[in-house]
Structure 1
Amino acid sequence: MKVVVLGADSPIGLAIIRDLGRCGFAVTALGRKRSALGLVSKYCQQPLVRAKDGEPLLQQLLQLGQLTKPAALIAISETDIAMLNRWRAQLVLHFKLLFADDAAMATVLDKSLTQQNAAAVGIDTPASWQLTALSELGEIETQLQYPLILKWANPHQVSALLQQAGLPLHKIQYCQNLQELNACLAPYQAIGYFPMIQRYYAGHGLGQFFLCRDGESLIQFQHERVHEWPPEGGSASLCKAVDNQLHQACAERSKALLKRLNWQGVAMVEYRYDPGHKQYVLMEINGRFWGSTPLSVAAGACFASHLVKGLASQQPVKQPDIKLRYCRYMIPELKRIARIVLQPDKIMDPQCHFNKWSELAAFMGYFFHPRCRYYVFALDDPAPFFADLRQAAQKMLQPLLRRLRTQKIVHKG
């Protein structure tokens, strides 16, 4: 079976292409430019620049579907999945669609709905409050324990409104007291929507990943975040594979949650894990491929190839043996160490404290760690690494080139 991958621009797409190519699938990949990471991979048999979003992209996909039968279609980003789901009735005539439909995505994108489903299977969820007006803050003031964080129940629903109002879309905001909470919430009166207020939980990220068919787990994998960007908590810049024998009770509850949702395909159930208190608090469900997909591939949990085998081809799927690897995403890792060493005052969470010298030593040490792999660099497929270096250099040089052009124009004037 041939596989079309929409989203070859990121390390996620690159990891999926490598996984599929190494397993013998013929991969057609679409990226926004010819130098996209996945398009320069040797495992991409047919690299294509994707057409403009909307009708041109639909026609491009339909033409591919007619030429490459039988074929499976994998989409990576939530934005692309939402767009493709609008055309689902047309695409399903040509592809095995290996991403969740609109109804399934809605159940996991809405964090309040996710919490309801999680509580029903015994998963601890963050203490949360949702305001409809700023005046309601006084009614819950006595229930609040600081620090608190603010996060949107469904960022996709408010992103356009925030943009129209000239407001940034924050993934997380930290509030240490009522005055800060008021100050953070007040600007959102302009759009009539407010982010969820959540209690802060100590710990680090624990991700549990599953491939499901009709709600039943076929394979599973888990990781813990060692480093995050930003340093106080965010996406993984360094993560490690964890033996499936650990966190077993938590994994069983995650499976029960996905069974309750009758999940089809890949999903990540993400927790804030406090090892000191053995506490697992659900953060969210990602109903798609996740940021640390390169780690799962390096560890032998090849979700993309198993997804095609198990759901598109209906072949038996066996739980793979897990190699206990580390994986680094170097650009966020560089940002993280720079923030800790040079800009510690910009770390938003005052509960987070880092020793810059030990962090520097650890940063250098992982270059020599025998079990450490990388999101982009791979010995058997080096071209994406050099493409990434070129793009990073161009991005760094752009401001300098703009200044030089401005100075040249002023000088001529």
Structure 2
Amino acid sequence: MRTGAVVIGGDYQGLGIVRSLGRHGVPVLVLDNERSIAAASRYTGKVVRVPGLRDDEDTLRALDGLRRRFGLAGWVLYATREETVAALSRHRADLARHWRVPTPDWDSVRYAWDKRETYRLAQKLGIGVPRSWFPMDEADLAQVDGDGPFAVKPAIKEHFFYATGVKAWRADGRAELLAAFRRAAAVVPAGEVVVQELVPGGGETQLAWCGLFRDGRPVASMTARRLRQHPSEFGRASTFVETVAAPELEGPSTRFLAAIGYHGLVEVEYKVDPRDGEPKLLDVNARTWGYHTLGRAAGVDFPYLLFLDQLGRPVPRVAARPGVRWIRLATDLPNAVVDWRAGRLRTGAYLASLLRVRTEAVLSWSDPLPALYEVALAPHLATSRGL
């Protein structure tokens, strides 16, 4: 059997990987613990559903079961979720005996996994970050300067997101800060609550540097403005994104990734602070990101480039062209209605933004079934994962 890929997680992000590889004739198996739209793609060869993929033990058991059942020696593993990244990274040496594992070692990934590590290293490297505090208890909140607004969020997202369904809470004053801290401290272990200054601005200030990084430099890259997200303030995922020219992001992104010895696909998120014009680093995603299919529309097919890299084949140096737009209508449209009702979005401006959309996250005329499947699954996805 030709060398193929196992995509772990078959939502719209996984679907993008399946289509990228399938269009190049790469065999693809989707592994998931949920009903997922990638199962309906014409490019998916096999679908295996397992009871769980939330922790290391479940993930390793599932992969061992695939190997024993199908062989798949030397196939490439693609992670789409943070907990999968952590599992592959922590057990990379053992997994690499049977698989190609593009996820880096834990010594590298831990700087993306834990925001305390992210922000400390960024500051050491001279990369701007929002003012952040890591209180161990309520008494430590006295060290937090100012009256807000603040973002109260977890250092490790997976300990928090599945329990609350959100990425962060906003606190507009000291009383709200104390209340939000207490709510967060009831969910995550002591020391994992991050209090962060909330950088002003909306989608126009949210930028990202995306790339395939290798040997201390980017091989393929894309810079994007994350104009809209769901929910609007602390988005779980981007819903409307446009490629832009933002060369100022490559320097800090390269310094950070080179410092941790990173190899693979990555998204580095920033928010430009209007008070000083400096991009402030917010997050590092050590995997494909939700809107990675924007890359293919803009000339950079990230999942396939990673596949070439893992097979030791030449990888062309490419950069995405600016001005290409991506949307995920399943979340962008409902969120636009919420923003319109709140007076944050004008109907004309929203409709105008749709005119030059180049690619949709799920809808594809050459592979239509996943879009139909998503419509059928919409009630389930809305209640289980908020889409």
TM > 0.5: yes
Q: CA 1:170/1:48 → structure 2, altered by over 3 Å: closer, same or farther?
A: closer
Letter in 1 for 2:136: T
Deviation by residue 1:139-194 (Cα, 9 ceiling, x = unmatched):
x25x22421111111233x449x95xxxx364111111112112222345555445
Give 3-state SS (helix, strand or coil) of 1:96's partner: coil
Aligned twin of 2:221: 220
Q: Which of 168, 179, 184 is 2:180 aligned to?
A: 184
The reply on whether 1:361 has 2:352 as its aligned counterpart is: no
Q: CA 1:276/1:189 → structure 2, altered by over 3 Å: closer, same or farther?
A: closer
Gaps of 5+ in 1: 345-352, 399-413
Give 3-state SS (helix, strand or coil) of 1:181's partner: helix
Q: CA 1:337/1:5 → structure 2, altered by over 3 Å: closer, same or farther?
A: same
Q: Structure 1 residues 380-389 or 177-186, which shifts more?
A: 177-186
Report deviation, 1:275.
Answer: 6.1
Give 3-state SS (helix, strand or coil) of 2:349's partner: helix
User: How is 1:250-329 mapped onto 2 (pairs within 5 angstroms)?
Assistant: 250-274=249-273, 277-320=276-319, 322=321, 324-329=323-328
Does the CA contact (< 8 Å) of 2:212 and 2:302 recur in 1? Answer: yes
Aligned twin of 2:368: 382
Aligned twin of 1:15: 16
The reply on whether 1:31 has 2:32 as its aligned counterpart is: yes
User: How is 1:16-165 mapped onto 2 (pairs within 5 angstroms)?
Assistant: 16-32=17-33, 36-50=36-50, 52-53=52-53, 54=58, 56-63=61-68, 67-85=71-89, 87-138=91-142, 140=143, 143-156=145-158, 158-159=159-160, 163=163
Q: CA 1:137/1:116 → structure 2, altered by over 3 Å: closer, same or farther?
A: closer
Letter in 2 for 1:93: R
Give 3-state SS (helix, strand or coil) of 2:296's partner: helix
Structure-1 separation of matches of 2:76 and 2:361: 24
Report deviation, 1:114.
Answer: 1.1
Report deviation, 1:257.
Answer: 1.2
Q: CA 1:172/1:51 → structure 2, altered by over 3 Å: closer, same or farther?
A: closer
Q: Structure 1 residues 91-100 or 263-272, which shifts more?
A: 91-100
User: How is 1:195-206 mapped onto 2 (pairs within 5 angstroms)?
Assistant: 195-203=193-201, 204-206=205-207
Structure-2 separation of matches of 1:392 and 1:221: 30
The size of the alignment, in residue pairs, is 372
Aligned twin of 1:404: none
Letter in 2 for 1:330: L
Does the CA contact (< 8 Å) of 1:134 and 1:185 recur in 2? Answer: yes
Structure-2 separation of matches of 1:224 and 1:293: 13
Deviation by residue 1:98-155 (Cα, 9 ceiling, x = unmatched):
22232222121111211222223321111111111212223x25x2242111111123
Give 3-state SS (helix, strand or coil) of 2:200's partner: coil
Letter in 2 for 1:307: L
Report deviation, 1:301.
Answer: 1.5
Give 3-state SS (helix, strand or coil) of 2:121's partner: helix
Identity among equivalent positions (%) equals: 22
Aligned twin of 1:392: 378
Report deviation, 1:339.
Answer: 1.3
Report deviation, 1:51.
Answer: 6.0
Deviation by residue 1:45-78 (Cα, 9 ceiling, x = unmatched):
33333465426513323236x6334422222211
Structure-1 separation of matches of 2:185 and 2:48: 44
Does the CA contact (< 8 Å) of 1:151 and 1:196 recur in 2? Answer: yes
Aligned twin of 1:238: 240
User: How is 1:402-413 mapped onto 2 (pairs within 5 angstroms)?
Assistant: none
Q: Structure 1 residues 254-263 or 187-196, which shifts more?
A: 187-196
The reply on whether 1:175 has 2:171 as its aligned counterpart is: yes
Q: CA 1:384/1:182 → structure 2, altered by over 3 Å: closer, same or farther?
A: same
Does the CA contact (< 8 Å) of 2:20 and 2:301 recur in 1? Answer: yes
Report deviation, 1:256.
Answer: 1.4
Letter in 2 for 1:380: S
| Larger Cα-atom Rg | 1
